[in-house]
Amino acid sequence: MKGTQVMKRVTPVLILGVLMTAVPVLGGPLMRSQVSATASWLVHADYEKFCNVQIGRLIIEELRRQGIDKKLDDFATVFSFHPLNDIRDVTIYGTGADKDKAVVLIDGKFDQDKLVALVSMNPEHKEVPYSDIVLHGWVDKKQAANGDTVEQQMYGCFYGNLLVISSGLEAAKQAVDVLKGSAKNASGGLLAGSTADAKDAFVLVMGSALDELAEQQPKAAMLKQADELTLVVGEAGGNMYIDLGLKAKSEDAAESIRKMFDGFIAFANLSGQEQPKLAELAKKLQLSRVEKSVRVRFESDSESVFAFLKEKWQEKTQEGGQKN
């Protein structure tokens, strides 16, 4: 593969390589000091915890049976780091729905010179000096579903062991300022007093001011009625759990959200004949409301959750094969 062709795809390959669905490539404890105080949403996961719990081991073993090792070795050959072995920490945060205000922080073991050299091969590469670092700019080109070529300006740099990526130059600069300590971080605000410290959690999603995000998702009517969201996924005692909390705009809105969840649970329970595994798992959902707060808690043995996920994945793979 020619170098220029490699760099035309560096951003999607890099980000997808470390953010693959159901692949344990995110990792490390959440560092509030690395996140901007302006963040209104955040996604984080802990790779080390994921690898050391049953659901993580089962998923990793299955992915290896599917041949993921060869793909990741090929990735490492090009980019000089292995998504499973060399990534310690990934945090994604942003403000509202503007993708140019989103930032990806990847903490890992990189051959920084090689990655910079690859980026420099991009035809639209440019260097943007900022403070005591250099931000690298490049244009990511990818093919849309309709066949059109879509171009996206990207920026990135290294700050110590952290790889900083954003499609917005100002967001990238602000991320650097936060890391340097010259801009306010999120030790308070969005993350203060949250369940981010749940010791058994390996995934954390948080958001506030959800209206703007909901506007970009026509089916997200529930979010339009909520001000804050916290989602924690973890495993304790061999049981995987999902803990979702929503703070609604009012008690009436909270009751409306509770009824929506009630409907989802009832629908899943009624699917027993067609999807027995889904119906069985649905029975383990616990729903509660206190004033403006709604909480949904799911907990089940990790083997059952894995069996369900594997079944859904196989169905999706078969559907994809039939379409092709």
pLDDT score for 227:
87
pLDDT at 110 over 60: yes
149 shares its domain with 214: no
pLDDT at 218 over 90: no
Percent of the chain with pLDDT over 70: 83
Q: Which of 133, 165, 183 is the last residue of a domain?
A: 183
For residues 69-97, give the mean pLDDT. 82
For residues 249-256, give the mean pLDDT. 92
pLDDT at 23 over 60: no
pLDDT at 160 over 60: yes
For residues 130-141, give the mean pLDDT. 92
pLDDT at 111 over 80: yes
How high does pLDDT run on average in the chain? Answer: 81
| Residue written as token pair 């942003």 | 94
Q: Which of 183, 218, 233 is the last residue of a domain?
A: 183
9 shares its domain with 52: yes
Is 14 a member of any domain?
yes
pLDDT score for 36:
94
Is 193 a member of any domain?
no
13 shares its domain with 96: yes
66 shares its domain with 147: yes
pTM score: 0.82
pLDDT at 17 over 50: no
Is 99 a member of any domain?
yes
pLDDT at 220 over 70: no
Is 196 a member of any domain?
no
Least-confidence region, from 26-40, 226-240, 243-257: 26-40
Greater model confidence, 29 or 157: 157
Q: How many domains does the chain have?
A: 2
174 shares its domain with 224: no
Residue 119 sits in which domain range?
A: 3-183
15 shares its domain with 154: yes
Tell me: the pLDDT tens digits for 276-319? 888 888 889 999 999 999 999 999 999 999 998 988 888 887 77
pLDDT at 145 over 80: no
